[in-house]
Amino acid sequence: MTAHSDTHIVGWEDHPFYQNCLNLIEAAGEQIDLDPNVFQRLSKPRRVLYVSIPVRMDDGTIEVFDGFRVQHNTTLGPAKGGIRYHPEVNLAETTALSMLMTFKNALVKLPLGGAKGGIRCDPSVMSRREKQSLTRRYTSEIFMLIGPDRDIPAPDVGTDAQTMAWVMDTYSAQVGYAVPGVVTGKPIEIGGSLGRVDATGRGVVYTIIEAAKRLNMDLDGNTTVAVQGFGNVGYYSAKIINSLGCKVVAITDVSGGIYKSDGINIQAAKDWLDKNRTFDGFPECDKISNAELLELKVDILIPAALSNQITKANADKVKCRILAEGANGPTTIEANQILNEKGVFTIPDILANSGGVIVSYFEWVQGQQSFFWSEKDVNNKLWEIISNAFGRVYDFHQAKKIDMRLSAFAVSIEHLSKAMLYRGFFP
Ligand code: NAD
């Protein structure tokens, strides 16, 4: 028997992603004269729960997985944030991601706090039964934290609508009645919202439309786009921007990807990937690596995979005009600085990918009211909220002459800090 290292369960303070978030709060705070007591409170998560999750695997052995749920802030309402299944999940990253959720929700003025959860596992090598056992046991372990008025999970990397259905069912079984409001991103049949599945990608594209207007850029057949990651966010971002007429010239996933200078047929690429699980052999395209994709000369670059993809090592080689961050934390602080100096216009993650949580909020509202909206209503309301938030961030960026990322944090923290000061704290 081998003892395993548990470094992924240790504290978050020294983790670079968490430090990045703290530095951003501090720098944004200076722009709005943030009360130092509010800064102290924002610099730590409100609640952290570690759980060990035993699962009987298909071969009869029992494997114990590490899981987390972190609630960073609940001032504006119930905590809200995704659940990630990935081999690299750790407490520090989950905590940093919960913080980003707080600021994302506050930025678009949702009545929600910030949370994140995750399990350190590799769902790509697990059977459906193993994943279901994992999800149900995890749900029962975090049961005391979640609920439609407390904390509402959603899908993230490695989880999907089916995962949310299992969470909802496990929670509902424990309380004795159906509780659709405990999760968002559910299948439509059990209370999901129309428009949720493509909401994050749609939101990414809506923010690109707003940016292009300000930069006097046309979005048409001459506009080139590269997308890193071809999961939920990457695929729908590519599909929707393509529907505006733009040319998606490169896409990649974990195993690399494809390039075609006159534009890839997105639906054909998706069908191919679903069938073959890799882009290898996709006709009429050249092969491209993830690193090469990020360095392409394109008008719009959409990183939609994992964090820390654009770092000081490659930022200088990034050649896009607009960087729309579909993923959470794809650009490090040092890289952000380099991109600013190069004149890249960044739409920061908490703004660019907020479409997912905005429509999650709609789903939660619809579930609480048992009254469901049309897809057109969902998309129109998404447009209203996200373009309004874009405008507030852009105006701040223009007025203060600071970059879009810092502006987004400042606008968000200004709203949240007022709420925190009104509420005070107990006792
Ligand atoms: P997903 O699991 O559906 O897709 C992830 C994609 O990234 C896959 O195509 C995968 O192959 C690719 N990938 C994984 N590791 C990679 C690597 N090392 N290099 C390149 N590609 C890699 O996940 P998703 O839901 O699309 O989430 C993607 C990102 O968007 C994450 O950062 C997530 O936190 C963020 N996000 C998701 C949502 C949402 O609604 N799904 C909302 C906001 C933010």
Q: Is the CB of 249 under 6 A from ligand 1?
A: no
List, for the chain, all residue ranges whose pLDDT scores fall below the cut of 50.
Answer: 1-3
For residue 73, which of 422, 427, 417, 426 has the smallest C-alpha distance?
A: 417
Residue 375's SS3 state is helix
Clarify whether residues 94 and 218 are in a common domain: no
pLDDT for the residue 6: 63
Query: Residues 102, 246: one domain?
Result: no
- Residue 20's pLDDT is 83
What local confidence, expressed as pLDDT, does residue 383 receive? 98
Report CA-CA distances (Å) from 116 to 99, 141, 328, 355, 427. Answer: 8, 15, 12, 17, 27
Let me know whether 343 and 211 are in one domain: yes
Q: Both 204 and 136 in a single domain?
A: no
Give the number of other CB atoms < 10 A from CB of residue 55: 23
Q: Is residue 379 part of a domain?
A: no
Q: Distance between CA 408 and CA 397 in Å, rounded?
A: 8
CA pair distance 95, 38, nearest whole angstrom: 18
pLDDT digits 0-9 by tens, 176-206: 999 999 999 999 999 999 999 999 999 999 9
Shared domain for 101 and 238, answered yes or no, is no
The alpha carbon of 144 and the centre of ligand 1 are apart by a number of angstroms equal to 28
Is residue 79 in some structural domain? Answer: yes
328 lines ligand 1 (CB under 6 A): yes
Cβ of residue 257 lying under 6 Å from some atom of ligand 1: no
Best residue among 306, 311, 364 to mutate for probing ligand 1's pocket (most ligand atoms within 8 Å of CB) is 306
Distance of alpha carbon 334 from alpha carbon 377, whole angstroms: 40
* Distance in angstroms (rounded) separating the CA atoms of residues 358 and 386: 8
| CA distance linking residue 244 with residue 217, whole number of Å | 13
Residue entry with tokens 């990020």: 294
Which of 352, 381, 416 is a domain's end point?
352
Question: Does any domain span residue 370?
Answer: no
For residue 3, the model assigns a pLDDT of 46
Question: Do 300 and 161 lie in a common domain?
Answer: no
Task: Copy the structure tokens of residue 367.
Answer: 């579930």
Say if 28 falls within a structural domain: no
Residues 6+ apart with CB under 8 A from 22: 43
Rounded CA gap, 206 and 185, in Å? 20
Judgement on whether residues 121 and 151 belong to the same structural domain of the protein: yes
160 alpha carbon – ligand 1 mean position (Å): 11
Query: What Rg value do the Cα atoms of the chain yield, rounded?
Result: 21
Q: Is position 281 within any domain?
A: yes
Number of the ligand 1 atom closest to the C-alpha atom of 329: 32
| 173 and 142 housed in the same domain | yes
Q: What is the CATH number of the domain that holds 161?
A: 3.40.50.10860
Range of the domain at 174: 33-183
Angstrom distances, CA of residue 309 to CA of 6, 120, 238: 25, 20, 18
Find how far residue 124's CA is from the centre of its chain. 20
pLDDT score at 17:
81
pLDDT for 5: 56
Q: Please check whether residue 26 lies inside any domain of the structure.
A: no
Same domain, 317 and 232: yes
Q: Do 170 and 205 fall within a single domain?
A: no
Tens-place pLDDT, residues 38-77: 999 999 999 999 999 999 999 999 999 999 999 999 999 9
**pLDDT at position 415, please?**
98
The verdict on the CB of residue 233 being under 6 Å from ligand 1 is yes
CATH of the domain at 261: 3.40.50.720
Residue 356 tokens, joined? 């997912």
For residues 260 and 176, membership in a common domain is answered with no
Catalytic pick among 44, 80, 104, 116: 116
Number of domains in the chain: 2
Q: Tell me what pLDDT residue 307 has.
A: 86
Final residue in a domain of this structure, among 131, 159, 183: 183
Residue ending a domain, among 183, 217, 247, is 183
**In terms of DSSP H, where are the helices of 33-71?**
36-42
Q: How far apart are CA 307 and CA 34, in angstroms?
A: 27
